[in-house]
Structure 1
Amino acid sequence: MSAWLDALHFLRPHWLWALLALPLLAWLWQARRRQRSVWRGVVDAHLLPHLMVRGTGIASRTPLFVACLPWILAVLALAGPSWRLGEQPLWQSKTPLVIVLDLSSRVTATDLPPSRLLQARAKLAQLLEARDGGQVALVVVADDAFTVAPLTEDAANVQLYLDDLSPEIMPVDGERIDRGISWATRLLAQAQFKQGDILLLADHADGMARDAAAAARAKGYAVSALGLGTATGAAYRRSDGTLARAALDEGSLQRLASAGGGRYHALSASQADLMRLGVLLPEQATATAGNGAGKAWRDEGYWLVLPLLLLSLLAFRRGAVVVFIGVLCLPIAMPAQAAGIDWWQRADQQRHAQLEQGAQAYRGGDFVEAEKAFTGIDTAEGWYNLGNALAKQGRYDEAIRAYDTALQRQPGMQDAVANRAAVDAARKRPPSGGDGQGKDSPDNGPQDRGSQGKGQQGKGQQGADSPNPAPPQPPPSQPPSSGDAKGAAPQGSPAKAPPAQSPPDAATQAAADAAQRERMRQAIAQQQAGQRSDSKPGQQAVAGETAAQRERRQAVDAWLRRVPDEPGALLKAKLRLEQERRQREGQ
């Protein structure tokens, strides 16, 4: 008990000053009780008790202490009484790091075999793999600085660019280290970081670079340096073809680190240099509300709210307690769902849940269950999906009526128009036993919304492997829109209905159909044979695919072959365009 009293304190003790208002409240309470009526002004005081009928209500029988108790409890609850510690999540922010790599022609020197560039790439890969969290960015600099990878917590995203780093991607050769440090400072400032680290990988630093490091330090960013090269140095070829010699100037880099408030270390094969620079384990800024790490004093004032609520019932009329208890028990007596209706969802959310349930049943091939789910949704989406489910069951007349209702709800609904036309054509087409197509064929149906319903509706043909998309989840606070909550449409569309003409006799029609099928079979066999002999591995014809599917696959393969697969060239083009933009804007 004594330990509990010793630990008892208030998190917000200034609220206790409100207890000084208790004497004033007590005086007002007594004054109100003395002034029962206006008769005190006209009737003698000794006669008033015999003439007046004393009140029988709760207020007349409430003692002064009970009247003041709610105020005391409210003030104590607001003051935040606390007597125990609880687990408190720590707010942590790891220091971000911006890496600045010198990509001038000096990085091609071979005093760090096989070259400084390859050693720098390996060191950056080691850093990104071993760094324990925190955002990282990569900046390259020559005559100007450019962002290769912005600040991100995904170090693997930065690693993607390492193999493409070379002086060839830089628009102009140069040795403006100061611009790289200034650009890194700008990135940290734009991200609204108050603290951060800048790591420079170079072999020297001039006076302008030291000034840029000092400016970064003034903004709260520490600048460290990792030396590339050796003191003896090696020859390299500039971009203009002339030869020069590059050597590690440790003195200039140490002065730069001192001006930037960071550290310096020469590049080494192990992680000793990175550990010495402190970039593997970024510092964390933490904030706790308690005396111990990860713990804080718990506010126990909410316990005083329960007796405060009970005392507040005294201010209501007779029977208020019974009503209050009944209201509390009402959610327990009433089930959360009754007759399949969720009382915690709005009507639009319930409709969307039905659409999602029907779409899942449709994707599973249970079209009867999908029909049940879509039935009763009196929206364009509901009738459209219902038509799709009916069409997949071969009930084309009912499907067409559902599409018509959807078009009444939303005139011009392209998917409903296309699917209605496809179903109508399938309904009018006479059954044929030779090709497996007919009214009851499971592959005949309306077009697939979201894949080929728009692009192929003019052709009236679609592949049998087109996807069946499910309706996307809209935000709970918004009703499903006409473009967002469509159900999955049936796959496979029939051929376009032939124009009206005088029907030939049965024998002539059967012979024509057989000849047409034989010509199509021969054409497909010849085309597949040519593809097997001429196409590359991975481009062979897929067994069972239709002509339309094969054409689409070949078109996609052709476009993929035209896409350049050279990240270095893309990065070079990106930096060149950025350089041109800066020149136009006069930066």
Structure 2
Amino acid sequence: MTGLFDAFHFLRPVWLLLLPGIGLLWYLARPRRKQDSPDSQHIAPHLAEALRVGSNTRRRVQPIDSVALCLSLLTLAAAGPTWSRIPNPLIAESAPLVVALKVTPSMEEADLAPSRLDRARFKILDLIATRAGGRTALVAYAGTAHRVAPLTEDPDILRPLLQGLSSEVMPVEGDDAAAALALSMDILGAAETPGAILFVLDDLDPAMVTAFTNDDPAQPPVAMLVAVPAGQIPAQIAGLTGITTVGLTADDRDIAQIERQLISAQQMAQLDDERLDWDDRGWWLLWPAALIALLWFRRGWTMRWGIAIVLVAGLQMPGNAQADGWRDWFLTPDQQGQLAYRNKDFARAAELFNDPMWKGHALLREGRYEEAAELFAELDNAEAAFSEGLARIGNREYRAGARAFETALDRQPDFPAAAKNAEIAWAIVEQVESTREQSDTGEESGIGADDMTFDNEAQRGTVTQVDAPMDEETALSPDQWIDSIDTEMGDFLRSRFLYDNAEGGT
């Protein structure tokens, strides 16, 4: 895998040819030290200094120095330095993460109040909240390892499953971290993008250490969040090389460190993805260039021709790009839109983007599916048709979404994601219409505010509404319903884990 340092290059290296010219200009224009005349050699030095017109001293920093440095920075910016890729908006910005939680009696010790396992649960939920939009899977292990939840962006799915985990639900006692690592790697292997693995544990069986010392570059990065009191990280964990080890803290420092590890893993994975464009970082150099240009307004430093350069540069700037006040001086609307997109301010990003694809993806992430679909429909590439399909599906237009995926396949036959989504969308259409046929009563029923509607182009049944009867005497209150879920979740997980063991799978 390519490293960030090795990935550094210039997108437009031809601009670098200007640097020797700037250096020559600086050399020719910089003032030289005045030489003493032959007659001054016969005069006392203090008298010669008094009789000399002009000073023999010179400034260490001359105006031409700032000009040359400013021009050099602008040239480097125009050359387009880059070392990372622009993330694909179709894929979650956070790298997929598999959390492997150790669920053993030792994790239920109370040296971390209320217990190590409870603190681990809280930290996992905090991490999921921090990674909003990122997919997270959950694995529980003791003597065996089990998949608790697949990769999902919904924290509400993971929360009750986490609460239901305890040492009683694990079918076999022990500490088989190697099995948990293998299972986590299998889950990441099915993901669209490379991700990372986080172990949340209190100790590691010495026999398992060899499983974490693999130097295979294809192995996803592994981090460990150790749920023990401060300063008590076991030696076998602290001695692991190539693995980020983080002690559990009372604040969010541990979560921040893990998040940095995940971001780094995602950036490293994107470097080898040739489908992604390189991220032009040249605009970063505009800030120091602007600060250096301020020196031109110092007394004795003002260069009259500098005003002409500023005026010419201002005339060359596009007049139709209005984005965000002073930011227009340094960033294009699309660059400002990317910043807003990365900050998950999708509504603002949709307003800023000029690029129709990025604008459409911002609308899609904002949940404005109809607007996004209309925008993608105006474009004629396979990626736009695929994105239109996602927007149509989000708007519950399953038939139109399936057709959009098929359009993407017509434009680009080798498009596995479009083929898979088209198959799923047509299956949903078939399921919806078959259900309507089976439940068709021939009655005209109104649609309520909370009812779900689908397209029914084939007219294979009318839309019907079925009110499930509820026995008022036995109906549960919301609090009772939640309590029943928490109580029954442990039984459900234990039964599922026992079934996994009986089937010999996970």
Structure-1-length-normalised TM-score: 0.37
- Determine which structure has more spread, i.e. the larger CA radius of gyration: 1
Which structure's relative contact order is higher, taking Cα pairs within 8 Å and 6+ residues apart?
2
TM-score, normalised relative to structure 2: 0.43
Higher strand share goes to which structure? 1
